[in-house]
Structure 1
């Protein structure tokens, strides 16, 4: 009887090993995509989304923003903070840039690395307007080439892998059960 228990336990352990370690159902990946940089009333803003699936980063983000003007003046690094009432992942700074043409770099360190660099012009009119209007911005220059568009099949590929591994584990368990029953009938 102990031989049957050993065999059953070994088959169960093999099936669990075939499943592998548990993974989160909605893994976002390991990098953040920032951008584009816009400026409203002197405050630079950017949107942080997960590079793998394009979902907004809705957890606490640690990052900084710095800027260099055309004449070499620097500003920052300033801490990135969430914009109250805005879409999750929308970040800005408490500090405002003065009028001028700026090259702005935003970087995150937690929960993942992210970086964007872009240029924006802050006008005196945008700084003094009672209702902040977005300043003219240019598209950010890519700091890295991801080589893929966001949301492209990465979730479906990992789901397919999990299903295939689960099916293999169930098949191995059923085969082991069938072998045990066959052996039991012979003895």
Structure 2
């Protein structure tokens, strides 16, 4: 009986130990699952840049874990150039790039070196500065040369391209036709005159 009781006691002890281990495992699993949610919050991290067209964009993450801030961020920026030009404050709006991205309208900054100050009040307070360079917009392509004569060319020539074309081969052909017709009239007149003179001489 003593041996059986000893075995029974050992079995209960093992069962209790297994139960405690299972409960501890569930507790650890619950803690690990809740850790990412607990990690959110604290300080914000705001990375500022330009969109290439004079606009300002920002990426907002939690400084603790680097995850994008899913809550709405009340974010404004002011900018000062090296030439003393001041812009803002400008309220940045949520952008379509994804969670935690914010953007201004394009063209708010001109070409040059700028110091931008970002300020947030929600979901946490933040203030920081970033220096960025804004490049000049690309130059428009040069227009293709036109086949039409310029005003200077028309003035120097004394006539337009259409007038020159109208006075070209067709005009020459018209002059040749009139010359031939006139010559034929002269020849006919001369022949008629000769015939009349010949008749007058015979009549005498």
For normalisation by structure 1, the TM-score amounts to 0.50
- SS class of match (1:42): coil
Shift of 1:75: 0.2
Is 1:94 aligned with 2:105? yes
Deviations 1:109-161 (A, max 9, x none): 100122331111212226x78xxxxxxxxxxxxxxxxxxxxxxxxxxxxxxxx
**Is it true that 1:59 corresponds to 2:71 in the alignment?**
yes
Any stretches of 5+ residues in structure 1 without a counterpart? 1-22, 130-187
Q: Is the 8 A contact 2:50 2:134 kept in 1?
A: no
Q: 1:39–1:122: 8 Å Cα contact kept in structure 2?
A: no
Relative contact order, higher structure (CA 8 A, sep 6+): 1
- Matched residue, 1:117: 129
Q: For residues 138-177 of structure 1, what are the structure 2 equivalents within 5 Å?
A: none
| CA distance in structure 2 between the partners assigned to 1:36 and 1:81 by the alignment | 13
Of 81, 86, 89, the match for 1:74: 86
Tell me which structure has the larger Cα radius of gyration. 2
State the 4+ residue runs in structure 1 displaced beyond 6 angstroms. none
Unaligned runs of 5+ in 2: 1-30, 141-204
Distance 1:35 1:63 in 2: 12
Instruction: Find the aligned partners of 1:93 and 1:45 in 2 and give their Cα distance.
Output: 6
Shift of 1:39: 3.8
**Greater share of helix:** 2
TM-score by length of 2: 0.46
